[in-house]
Amino acid sequence: MNQELYLFNTLTHQKELFYPLKPPFVGLYVCGPTVYGEPHLGHARSAITFDIVFRYLKHLGYKVRYVRNITDVGHLESDADEGEDKIAKKARIEQLEPMEVAQFYTDAYHFAMDKLRVLRPSIEPRATGHIPEQIEMIEKILQNGFAYVVNGSVYFDIQAYKKKYSYGKLSGRTNIEENLAVSRELEGFQEKRHPEDFALWKKANPEHIMRWKSPWGEGFPGWHIECSAMSTKYLGSPFDIHGGGLDLIFPHHEAEIAQTNACECYDNPLNQAKYWLHCNMITVNGKKMGKSLGNFITLNEFFSGNHPMLSQAYSPTTIRFFILQAHYRSTLDFSNEALQASEKALIRLLQGIQKLDTIKYAGTSSFTASEIQQKLYQAMNDDLNTAKVIAELFHVIDKIHAVDLKQETLSQQEANSIKKLLTTWLEDILGIVPETRTNEQLEEVMQILIELRNEARAQKNYALSDTIRDKLQAVQITLRDTPEGTIWVNGKI
């Protein structure tokens, strides 16, 4: 932990030296997916960004508790508390139980993230599993005078809050009314005392399928309250790092800060977390990605190449590398050309590292592992600049090639140290692990097993088909039956 890591804190708009509240422990909370659709490149960027935070802090020796939630209720179609619940709507359209929708897309999310080598968080709480905690928090906010009840719904009272605390510090928004103008005409709006107020609890209409009993009648929680309740439960208040995508700063994170302050009733507002980190968005050919814009590509479509906008399939490692080639706060534009360039660059990088085994060694070395290490730390400590880390790695590859041309020299011992160092940075810290021949063979073997299981099921030999599934489960391989056929996942679900 003798590294000085600087992180850009959205709250203070500057890079700050990272120092946890209770070293060596670090509490990290990241807003996870709303599970109502297939995971896409935007999910990958957020998950990979905070996977790097998680991996690097652990590398530095911190004991990190990483909490990333699953939003399976409360996220309405419009972020301004109006419209239908995203998961309930999907369930209604597909005639499923809401939990069936949530489970299906949670599995899909895990499947894609495992492929991208995103480490699972320490705790992955679900909003629906924490309804009592959310109700308890809303009750405290009401008791403290920062909320009001209207017709079975509870709203956060921004005007009351502003009398004691400042609101809008994280987003720097002052003219909030302007941002809410779009929601004025929507149903339920007339219940709010002020357009800035947001829902803590919404009364469920008779046709609403996701509902829970509460002191205010049957209803469901607002979207923002889950993250305040779950972060407080597992990390306390305040905790070290809160992360998410840039689009969550307002209203979601601003609301989280307000709720936590209003619940705890601090004399000095503690802003819920010490450091607020936000990753930028991904655009597709220069445009925002969106289902309505027709440029929406799921991660599985990237992996299979099965989308009209894709000229080929891209491996999960290529996608991960492409994302890490940009700094997390920069915008990142997807195009086939950009991904193909990443694919080529990655191959060059991996081949360069392998070359260390075959170069002609000398008695002395003109460059050393410790020099390289210092530069890699320097880049990473500068607000997790993975783009610079990768540039430094390429710089080393150039030097390895220069050894071949006798412009540089390397002893065998130094070459071994450099190889070890590069592998640590590439595999452990950046999570880039080459897809090898072994994986292809495993894929072929798994396809044979899946076919045998299908045959057994076709012959109604369920004892055999279950044995195949159970024995695979015992070696951490899960079979998942999807409308497109059976797929396998490395790990237990």
| Contact footprint for Zn ion (CB under 5 A) | 31, 227
CB of 129 to Zn ion, least distance (A): 15
Looking at the Cβ atoms of 246 and 468, the one nearer to Zn ion is 246
User: One-letter amino acid identity for 383?
Assistant: D
Looking at the Cβ atoms of 31 and 415, the one nearer to Zn ion is 31
Looking at the Cβ atoms of 9 and 342, the one nearer to Zn ion is 9
Looking at the Cβ atoms of 87 and 324, the one nearer to Zn ion is 87
CB of 31 to Zn ion, least distance (A): 3
- In 3D space, the residue among 213, 196, 204 whose CA is nearest the CA of residue 155 turns out to be 196
User: One-letter amino acid identity for 301?
Assistant: E
Looking at the Cβ atoms of 31 and 257, the one nearer to Zn ion is 31
Strand-pair category, 239-245 with 273-279: parallel
Burial 128-164 (b: 16+ CB within 10 A, else e): bebbebbbebbbbbbebebbbbeeebbbbbbebbeee
CB of 242 to Zn ion, least distance (A): 8
Q: Are 9 and 276 in contact (CB under 8 A)?
A: yes
The SS3 of residue 281 is: coil
User: One-letter amino acid identity for 152?
Assistant: G
Tokens of 370: 């410790």
Looking at the Cβ atoms of 223 and 322, the one nearer to Zn ion is 223
Cα(203)–Cα(384) distance, rounded to whole angstroms?
A: 43
CB of 104 to Zn ion, least distance (A): 21
Tokens of 160: 């009351």
CB of 5 to Zn ion, least distance (A): 24
Looking at the Cβ atoms of 37 and 251, the one nearer to Zn ion is 251
Looking at the Cβ atoms of 31 and 154, the one nearer to Zn ion is 31
CB of 272 to Zn ion, least distance (A): 11
Looking at the Cβ atoms of 31 and 113, the one nearer to Zn ion is 31
User: One-letter amino acid identity for 189?
Assistant: F
Check whether the bond before 238 is cis (ω within 30° of 0). yes
CB of 169 to Zn ion, least distance (A): 17
CB of 398 to Zn ion, least distance (A): 43
Q: Are 197 and 254 in contact (CB under 8 A)?
A: no
| Phi and psi torsions of 88, nearest 5° | -60, -35
CB of 240 to Zn ion, least distance (A): 16
CB of 29 to Zn ion, least distance (A): 8
List Cβ neighbours of 115 (8 Å cut-off, separation of 6 or more): 299, 303, 316
Cα(4)–Cα(18) distance, rounded to whole angstroms?
A: 7
CB of 216 to Zn ion, least distance (A): 23
- In 3D space, the residue among 75, 76, 77, 81 whose CA is nearest the CA of residue 195 turns out to be 81
Task: Find residue 153's DSSP bridge partners.
Answer: 150
Tokens of 183: 């929601």
List Cβ neighbours of 265 (8 Å cut-off, separation of 6 or more): 144
CB of 252 to Zn ion, least distance (A): 5
Element (H, E) at 219: strand 219-221
Looking at the Cβ atoms of 31 and 80, the one nearer to Zn ion is 31
Cα(67)–Cα(27) distance, rounded to whole angstroms?
A: 8
Task: Find residue 245's DSSP bridge partners.
Answer: 279
Looking at the Cβ atoms of 228 and 417, the one nearer to Zn ion is 228
CB of 131 to Zn ion, least distance (A): 16
User: From residue 460, how far is each of 12, 316, 446, 452, 472 by CA, in Å?
Assistant: 64, 36, 21, 12, 20
Looking at the Cβ atoms of 69 and 183, the one nearer to Zn ion is 69
Residue 356: Cβ-neighbour burial (10 angstroms; 0-12, 13-18, 19+): buried
On the CB side of 325, CA atoms within 13 Å amount to 20
User: From residue 179, how far is each of 251, 261, 454 by CA, in Å?
Assistant: 10, 23, 54
Looking at the Cβ atoms of 31 and 379, the one nearer to Zn ion is 31
